[in-house]
Structure 1
Amino acid sequence: MSKSIKELSLHYDPINESNTFTSGDIVEGRIVLEVTKKIKVDSFFVKLTGDAHVSWTKGSGDNKRTYSDDERYVNLKQYFIQDSSKKGESEKNTTLVDGETYGSVIRPGSHVFPFRFQLPQQNMPPSFKGFHGWVKYILMVKLSRPWKSPSSTYTELNFVLRNDGTNDHLLQPQSGTQDKKMKFFGSGKMEMTVTAEKTGYMQGETIRVFVDIDNSSSRDVKLKYSLKQQQTFIAGRSTNRSNKDIVKETRDRIPSGEKSKFIVDVTLPRDLTVTIENCRILKVQYELKVYLDVSFASDPEVKFPVVILPPDQPCPPWQGPPGGSQPYPPPQPNLVPYPGELPPPPAGLYPNLYDPTVPPYPGAAAGVYPNPHAIPLGFHLAPSAPVSDPNQSTTKESSPNVPY
């Protein structure tokens, strides 16, 4: 960042305790820009993008080949300052959002630029980071000046799927039976029936499975089960699949000639990635396998698909710490103070941004920032919002994956 720009930071307002967003939610916040001297700006904007990306490499040397693909879901942009020669021009695959605009000259001091976006009401995949790809929703601000390198910063939003509780087909039970006749190293046969209560489970929920085993063989067997995640990445006609064990357990031994009944409980991690089926270039799917471990023979097994869903109820509103000692969360860190809280400006610096009696105000000087009436007073977080986590809502300086 140049010496004349002391701070360029990006802050958004969390809307729930989990600091997540979903389709149709409002994303609003502010850009804080502090400059040490007057600067001329060509363009200054904030944008919200949502993208999926996959990439992997096969082979080596002359046979090395890279496969990749991308998919974009949202591209919203709000200008604060725009090159006058480009005003009114459409931008490819970009939705321009109306907002307050300012003159191209910014005076010394700290300035706040509010922004507001609404996520589309469409079926977009959730935020995800996998073996060979990701889905990201990014807020990024960029300031361009004549004969200077652009200044930019960004932060990621955690986008989740909306679970409206209407997936009735995922509530149907699943059942399967598998038997095996012993031909080598034993005689007789074994039979296993497995029943799962349903197909869809929310993060943190427990999968309950009922297992009936009739071991009429001459061999002892062990009951085993696993929950496996499969990540699939697609680039053109090429596919790359990676598997990950979420749970893998061994249960009781079933002696020869005995019948046994088991209840198997698999508790899902609360941060487990949800099933992703609504992305063209990547998928996340789950499979539950219950099987009998038979030494020196193939294992009889029953497999079920499992769909991992986000919670179907939003988190309760933020109520503040116990005892009610603080009815509202404090403002986000590093923000410009609120009206009436600013100290008197040092002599010679730009007048108090929030004092509408101090020029320049609208009409005082065309083309000179700022418009004091454009800064809304409601910058405190809403009473239902949690205390913001600086690690989540503050900015990062650069990212090779963020498109400018």
Structure 2
Amino acid sequence: VKDDQVYIDERAVIWGERAGEGLDVTVPVLVRGQHQFPFRFNIPETNLPCSFESRACYIRYFVKVTIDIPYASPPQGIKYFTIIGPHIDCMDEQYLKPVSGQDKKVKCCLCCAKGPVTLSCSLDRTAFCCGETLKLKSMIDNQGEEAVKLKVRLVQYCEFFVERGVLGVNKEVQHLVLEYKGETVVPNERQDTCANLRIPTVPTTMMGVCRLAQIYYTLV
């Protein structure tokens, strides 16, 4: 099952003339030698999905050049380029609100419950740029009988959709972006940490831009 979506499809003749429909135009002959022809294409100001490569889906941007040679196979050249986007302002007010979460785990042996292990985590905001340091504050209160350790993973979720029939076809792929392991917390001990996680170069979050794919990230 395959599908595609085209965002940019601009064409131009940078030397010679294009034969119009129903017109007989003589194609000029380019003399032997080295030639340079300047050209320009304007990238739309609308949000374009970022360049992306995976087994299930790819988003590619390229410039393709074709030389028209009568009665011969036209030589072609292709050059790929990268689009970084869509643009997200990490300092926008909607992303500056702190976010926090808490979880508690209790182990049981037969009918006897052991002491709980409590985890609390918080971030000062919810949007970050590639290369930026994400500061994750955490608190572990280990009242259990076994040593525990904080493990954090930044996971990239890629969802793909193909419109076929009523429901269509969808697929989800996960990629591990980075992983952090904290120090061991022994029983009856409380530990407060601030982990600095440097975000590597990855495609930006892409939601509602492409009808075939979307990308988002979560901390687990």
User: Under a length normalisation based on structure 2, what TM-score does the superposition of the two structures give?
Assistant: 0.86
**Post-superposition shift, 1:165?**
5.4
Match for residue 12 of structure 2 among 64, 72, 78: 78
Match for residue 147 of structure 1 among 55, 59, 71: 71
Q: Secondary structure at the match of 1:81?
A: coil
Structure 1 residues 201 and 165, CA, compared in 2 at 3 Å: closer, same or farther?
A: closer
Counterparts of 1:120-135 in structure 2, within 5 Å, are 120-135=44-59
Structure 1 residues 143 and 247, CA, compared in 2 at 3 Å: closer, same or farther?
A: same
Match for residue 205 of structure 2 among 246, 267, 275: 275
Q: Are 2:68 and 1:138 equivalent residues in the alignment?
A: no
CA distance in 1, matches of 2:48, 2:216: 16
The structure with the larger Rg is 1
CA distance in 2, matches of 1:248, 1:166: 25
CA distance in 1, matches of 2:117, 2:101: 14
CA distance in 2, matches of 1:283, 1:131: 15
Given that 2:99 and 2:125 are in contact with CA atoms closer than 8 Å, whether structure 1 keeps it comes out as yes
Given that 2:180 and 2:197 are in contact with CA atoms closer than 8 Å, whether structure 1 keeps it comes out as no
One-letter amino acid of the structure 1 residue matched with residue 58 of structure 2:
W
One-letter amino acid of the structure 2 residue matched with residue 175 of structure 1:
S
Given that 2:51 and 2:203 are in contact with CA atoms closer than 8 Å, whether structure 1 keeps it comes out as no
Structure 1 residues 112 and 192, CA, compared in 2 at 3 Å: closer, same or farther?
A: same
Match for residue 102 of structure 2 among 156, 177, 185: 177
Identity %: 23
Residue number in structure 2 paired with 1:42: none
Q: Are 2:219 and 1:288 equivalent residues in the alignment?
A: yes
**Post-superposition shift, 1:163?**
4.4
Structure 1 residues 145 and 207, CA, compared in 2 at 3 Å: closer, same or farther?
A: same
Given that 2:142 and 2:186 are in contact with CA atoms closer than 8 Å, whether structure 1 keeps it comes out as yes
Cα RMSD between the aligned structures?
2.2
Residue number in structure 2 paired with 1:229: 156
Residue number in structure 2 paired with 1:316: none
One-letter amino acid of the structure 1 residue matched with residue 219 of structure 2:
L
Q: Are 2:193 and 1:266 equivalent residues in the alignment?
A: no
Q: Name stretches of at least 5 consecutive residues in structure 2 with no aligned partner.
A: none
Counterparts of 1:358-369 in structure 2, within 5 Å, are none
Q: Structure 1, residues 54-97: CA drift from partner, whole Å, max 9, x if none? A: xxxxxxxxxxxxx2111111111111334434389xxxxxxxxx
**Post-superposition shift, 1:117?**
1.3
CA distance in 2, matches of 1:259, 1:109: 76
Q: Are 2:132 and 1:205 equivalent residues in the alignment?
A: yes
**Post-superposition shift, 1:103?**
5.7
One-letter amino acid of the structure 2 residue matched with residue 78 of structure 1:
A
Q: Secondary structure at the match of 1:106?
A: coil
**Post-superposition shift, 1:107?**
2.0
CA distance in 1, matches of 2:179, 2:89: 31
**Post-superposition shift, 1:202?**
0.7
**Post-superposition shift, 1:191?**
1.4
Q: Are 2:41 and 1:105 equivalent residues in the alignment?
A: no
Residue number in structure 2 paired with 1:160: 84
User: Under a length normalisation based on structure 1, what TM-score does the superposition of the two structures give?
Assistant: 0.48
Residue number in structure 2 paired with 1:394: none
Counterparts of 1:2-401 in structure 2, within 5 Å, are 67-79=1-13, 80-86=15-21, 104-161=28-85, 162-164=87-89, 167-184=92-109, 187-236=114-163, 237-269=168-200, 271-277=201-207, 278-289=209-220
One-letter amino acid of the structure 2 residue matched with residue 226 of structure 1:
R
CA distance in 2, matches of 1:163, 1:171: 13
Given that 1:131 and 1:242 are in contact with CA atoms closer than 8 Å, whether structure 2 keeps it comes out as no
Total equivalences in the alignment: 209
